[in-house]
Amino acid sequence: MMGLMTQRPDTSSAWIVTIDGPAASGKSSVARRVAEALGIPYVSSGLLYRAATYLVLREKVPADDEAAVMALLSRHRLRLEPDNRVWCNDQEISAALHTDTIDAAVSAVSRHPSVRRWAYDLLRELRGPFVIDGRDMGTVAFPDATHKFYLTASAEARAQRRRPERNGSLREVIAALERRDALDHKQLSPAPDACQVDTTALTLDEVVAKVLLYLRSR
């Protein structure tokens, strides 16, 4: 078993694993651990939408004005490195991107088609191999990805996981997640060729083990 868990499949620069799912479904923890086990980078695609939202809030641009948001993005150079550090021009902004304020505003920015195209272009510049998480990595950004996963979990299980990182009661965290799910729903559907995993009753270790076993068996 141990050999199976540490052995890396034959990866090349075209080798991409996508892990999609709703907020707090465990994608980022799973993607990070799977990437570590395989010895390849983990990329969080949501960071680009968070970085765009950070700029929108900082520059007080109306988030629902697609043209104004795109004009803002063209005036600044946002960069995502394969180690998940994010830069705005020459300033690192990674530490400012996981806040309640950005959580609440990010869907309004990420729903614009031109913002999504901007993000896909930046993501497709990254060289594989890598594991990437998001909402539509397997459906739109990397339809030819080598392996695709789609994680789900009940709203309550997701809120319990998210709560230590956010303010508010369990009910408030569930309500905030459900609001974001409703706003993100357009991007949220499993690729037809994705392996779906319901993580509600599974520990992180169990989900990681499932994903790695699936990858080794292909």
Q: Which parts of this chain interact with ligand DC (CB under 6 A)?
A: 23, 45-46, 49-50, 106-107, 110, 134-137, 180, 184, 187
Give whole-number Cα distances, 130 to 31, 33, 108, 171, 215, in Å. Answer: 10, 12, 28, 35, 13
| Of 68 and 140, CB closest to ligand DC | 140
CB proximity list for 177: less than 8 A, separation 6 or greater: 22, 23, 24, 155, 158, 159, 162
| Of 49 and 118, CB closest to ligand DC | 49
Please state the closest distance from residue 63 (CB atom) to ligand DC, in A.
13
C-alpha–C-alpha distance, residues 54 and 181, integer Å: 20
Please state the closest distance from residue 141 (CB atom) to ligand DC, in A.
7
- Token pair, residue 129, equals 């191999």
| Of 26 and 134, CB closest to ligand DC | 134
Q: Are 180 and 103 in contact (CB under 8 A)?
A: yes
| Of 23 and 55, CB closest to ligand DC | 23
Please state the closest distance from residue 49 (CB atom) to ligand DC, in A.
4
